Amino acid sequence: MHAELVVTAAEDGASLGGVLRRRGYSRRLVTRLKNAVNGMTRGGQLIRTIDRVYAGERIILCCEDSRLLVPSAELSAAVLFGDGETVVYDKPPAMPVHPSMKHRTDTLGNLFAAEYPQLTFRPVNRLDRDTSGCVLAAKSQYAAARLRGSFDKSYLAVCCGVPTTDAVEAPIAREEGSLIKRCVRGDGKYALTRIETVCSAGGYTLCRVTPETGRTHQIRVHFAYIGCPLAGDELYGGSREHIGRQALHCESLGFVSPADGVYRRVTAPLPDDMRALIEGLRARSADSVSL
């Protein structure tokens, strides 16, 4: 797709996203444009869907390359499992899954493009940039359709304080005035997170966490909601005294591979920063911690 959009007088001052919606662009197509290299430009400069546009401006929309990511062979992420239809990466912290305006060539998608240049990158689950662990990607449209919604995940998290519940059931919505932050609000989408406390010491608690739904920032929001934000999660009130990013790791992922119909559970080892934090908890705890 390659199109030129001329902003009308009636659209003057509206956000680009609003203009695209009113003109009938689907959410999926807008997402493809956002993920494409130079997918939306104004005067040769990248423009976001939240940016205001003005009458007479020409917006160039291009997503021919939205599935052809720039290969970045210098990137590294361990492959935990792979077959003819799937690959599971151990995504390191600080690596985004998808390219964005600020991350064009340093994502898991760019690494996939280097390793599988003939394939489209189709991640089945997504992790926040600073969340580490298992990311499952399908190697075909068929596999993506088979896997969507039919996998399960388990996380390790270190939170501030001690949770007093084994489940959080609270709706999640986008926080007003923020593009990134989420919050618990009555008009949000249903969300359920199950929590198993492993041990507590030194003001922190190690938990195994199972999200039963898949809302943006779900685990981070739910822990903050119960007064126990994740260690290192500055966005939601967590302390960075002992770790520089949210202490959240997707430790395992289970799925039935479309290649052979066999159920597999793949496990990702803890990254060094979380291992050091958890070992510190274990050393100060009377409980036996098995990871």
Residue 69, class by beta-carbon neighbours within 10 Å (0-12 exposed, 13-18 middle, 19+ buried)?
buried
Q: What mean pLDDT do residues 229-250 have?
A: 97
Is 272 among the catalytic positions? no
Q: If you average pLDDT over every residue of the chain, what do you get?
A: 91
The structure tokens 């803890």 sit at 270
Alpha carbons 40 and 112: distance in angstroms, whole number: 23
- 187-215 as b/e: b if 16+ CB within 10 A: ebeebbbbbebbbbbeebbbbbbebeeeb
Give the residue-averaged pLDDT of 203-220.
96
Q: Looking up tokens 């997170």, which residue turns up?
A: 193
Of 19-23, 26-30, 139-143, 208-212, the one with minimum mean pLDDT is 26-30
Q: What local confidence, expressed as pLDDT, does residue 66 receive?
A: 41
pLDDT tier for residue 64 given thresholds of 50, 70 and 90: low
Do domains 78-150+255-264 and 152-250+273-284 share one topology? The answer is: yes
Of the CA atoms within 13 Å of residue 30, those in its CB half-sphere come to 16
Fold observed for domain 2-62: 3.10.290
* Arithmetic mean of pLDDT, 240-254: 97
Class level of CATH domain 152-250+273-284? alpha beta
Tokens found for residue 180:
């990134």
Segment 278-285 mean pLDDT: 79
Predicted pLDDT of residue 221: 98
Which is catalytic among the residues 90, 128, 130, 233? Answer: 128
Q: Taking the model in full, what pTM does it have?
A: 0.77
User: Residue 143, SS3?
Assistant: helix
What mean pLDDT do residues 154-182 have? Answer: 95
| pLDDT tens profile 134-167 | 999 999 989 999 998 889 999 999 999 999 999 9
1 confidence band (pLDDT: 50, 70, 90): low
pLDDT mean over 221-230:
98
Tell me the Cα Rg of the chain.
21
Residues 215, 188, 150: CA angle, nearest 5 degrees: 30
Rounded distance between C-alpha atoms, residue 142 and residue 259, angstroms? 10
253: pLDDT strictly greater than 70: yes
- The amino acid at 24: G
Percent of the chain with pLDDT over 90: 72
CA distance 251 to 210: 11
Q: Does domain 78-150+255-264 have CATH number 3.20.20.80?
A: no
Contact 39, 32 (CB under 8 A): yes
- The CA distance from 203 to 205, in Å, is 7
Quick one: average pLDDT of 246-260? Answer: 97
pLDDT grade for 286, boundaries at 50, 70 and 90: low
- Spans of all domains in the chain: 2-62, 78-150+255-264, 152-250+273-284
Cα 82 to Cα 167: distance, rounded to the nearest angstrom: 33
